[in-house]
Amino acid sequence: MSNDRSQTELWDRCQSTVEQLDLPDPFDAEVFIGVLARERGRPIGLLPTTARPDAPCGLVITTRNADWIVYCSDTNGLHRQHILLHEAAHILCGHTERGDDDMMAAAARRLMPHLPAELVRSVLGRTVYSEPDEREAELVASLILQRVARRDRHRSRPTDRASTLDALFAVFEG
C-alpha cells in the first residue's frame, strides 16, 4: 500500500472515530475519560505523577479489571489535556492488546518508582505502541481538540452586525 493511501486511510479512520464521540460541553478531558469509561463499561483510572526527563509523559496500563492512564500532572493545563487525550486515544483505537511488557515495565518504574517492580510488571497489559499506533493516537487527540475548538469558535461568533459591533465596542470599554 502506498504511503499516501495509508496516510489517507489513517486520517479517515481517525476522523470517523472522533466524529462518533460524545464530547462533554464544556469540554474537560477528565470528564471525557469518565464518559468513555461508562460507555465501554470498563473503569479508566487516572494516576497523576511528576514529570521525569527519562520517562514518557503518559502511558496506559491495562489490568484485569480496569485501564489506568498515568500522566504527568506537573505541566500546563493544555499539555496535560493533550497527554490525557493521547492516552485515551490508545484505548479508543484498541491499542491495548497484551504484548511485550519489558519496555513498558521500565517506563512505569521510572514514572512510578515507589511501586515494587513485581507489581508494575504484573499490572502491565498492553504492548509497546508501534510508530503507527503513536501516530494514530496523536491524530485522534489532535482531532478531538480541533473539534472542541471549532465548536467553541462557532459558539462565540456574533450572529449579526449589531452583535459584531457590540462585541467590538466591548473590547474598547473593557
Q: Residues 2-43: pLDDT tens digits?
A: 677 888 999 999 999 999 999 999 999 999 999 999 999 999
Q: What count of Cα atoms within 13 Å lies in the side-chain half-sphere of residue 155?
A: 8
Distances (CA, A) of 98 to 119, 129, 158: 16, 11, 50
> What are the backbone dihedrals phi and psi of residue 38, each rounded to the nearest 5 degrees, phi first?
-65, -45
Q: Which residue did the predictor score with more confidence, 8 or 62?
A: 8
Residues 6+ apart with CB under 8 A from 145: 81, 82, 85
Name every residue whose Cβ is closer than 8 Å to that of residue 76 and which is 6 or more positions away in sequence: none
d(Cα 122, Cα 115) in Å, to the nearest integer?
Answer: 11
The answer, yes or no, to whether residue 95 has pLDDT greater than 90, is no
Cα 94 to Cα 49: distance, rounded to the nearest angstrom: 24
**Partners of 47 in the β-ladder:** 70
The pLDDT tens digits for 98-113 are 444 455 556 566 666 6
Short-list 29, 13, 9, CA closest to 148: 29
- CB-CB contact of 154 with 25 (8 Å): no
Q: Is 114 or 131 the better-scoring residue by pLDDT?
A: 131
| pLDDT given for residue 152 in this prediction | 87
Say what percent of the chain tops pLDDT 90. 45
Over 90: is that where the pLDDT of 1 sits? no
pLDDT of residue 3: 76
